[in-house]
Amino acid sequence: MFYRIINLLFLGFSFWLVCSNSLKFAPEIDVRRERGRSLLLLYPMNTEVQIQMFEKMVADLISTEPELFLVEVKIKPTNNIKVYIDGNQGISIEKLVQYNRRLYKKLEEENIFPNGDFSLEVSSPGLDEPLKLHRQYLKNIDRFVEVIDKDGGKKEGKLISVSENEIVLEEIKGKGKKMETLKYNIPFGDIKTTKIQIKF
């Protein structure tokens, strides 16, 4: 009987210890989770600051050639930096190579990435990349484009004009006597993506 009472007391004490440890462990998990959330929230902000820094750096590099303009800077978590430069009349491969070398050297000199832990690609936007800037729309007047609006609707046609607030597409449907020309005025605020179409 005495040993049974001792066993019951021991089991009760063990249960209390487990409950006590559980109560302490749960807040520790929450703290670790909260720390994780904080780091994840800070990462995009840091990346945005880096992008702004690179945008200024590239803008300074190409400032002597006003026909050129920066389209976008992308930075991957692996420190892979992609810089897209374009021009009113396009940009040559030689120019891109030249700016790639100059920017790479500047990054090394300023030691932005310790131990040279980065890679750099400077290129012009591919035809599969959507148009992002007003200047890109202007340089692509008279080319065929595909426009997806924010509601998911799609329009295709020749880009015939670009103003500050909208673009105008011209679509030709049918042939012969049934041929008709349609025009679409599309405000920039309604556009989700615009891509160049290659037609032969």
pTM assigned to the model: 0.70
Structure tokens at 127: 């035809």
pLDDT tens for the chain, residues 1 to 200? 444 444 444 444 444 333 433 333 333 334 333 333 333 333 344 678 889 999 999 999 999 999 999 999 999 988 999 999 999 999 999 999 999 999 999 999 888 887 778 999 999 998 889 999 999 999 999 999 999 999 999 999 999 999 999 999 999 988 888 889 999 999 999 999 999 998 76
Q: In what order do the strands lie in the sheet with 180-187?
A: 180-187, 166-173, 154-162, 144-149, 191-196
**Cβ contacts of residue 76 below 8 Å, gap of 6+?**
82
pLDDT at 113: 81
pLDDT at 8: 42
- Distance, in Å, from the CA atom of 145 to the CA atom of 194, rounded to the nearest integer, reads 7
pLDDT at 46: 67
42-123 — its CATH code?
A: 3.30.300.20
pLDDT at 101: 96
Q: Please tell me the class of the 134-196 domain.
A: mainly beta
Where do you find CATH 2.30.30.100 in the chain?
134-196
- Distance, in Å, from the CA atom of 131 to the CA atom of 195, rounded to the nearest integer, reads 6
- Distance, in Å, from the CA atom of 98 to the CA atom of 77, rounded to the nearest integer, reads 26
3-state secondary structure the chain: CHHHHHHHHHHHHHHHHHHHHHHHHHHHHHHHHHHHHHHHHHHHHHHHHHHHHHHHHHHHHCCCCCCEEEEEEEECCCCEEEEEEEEECECCHHHHHHHHHHHHHHHHHHCCCHHHCCEEEEECCCCCCCCCCHHHHHHCCCCEEEEEECCCCEEEEEEEEECCCEEEEEEEECCHHHCEEEEEEEEHHHEEEEEECCCC
pLDDT at 191: 97
pLDDT at 49: 87
Where do you find CATH 3.30.300.20 in the chain?
42-123
pLDDT at 175: 84
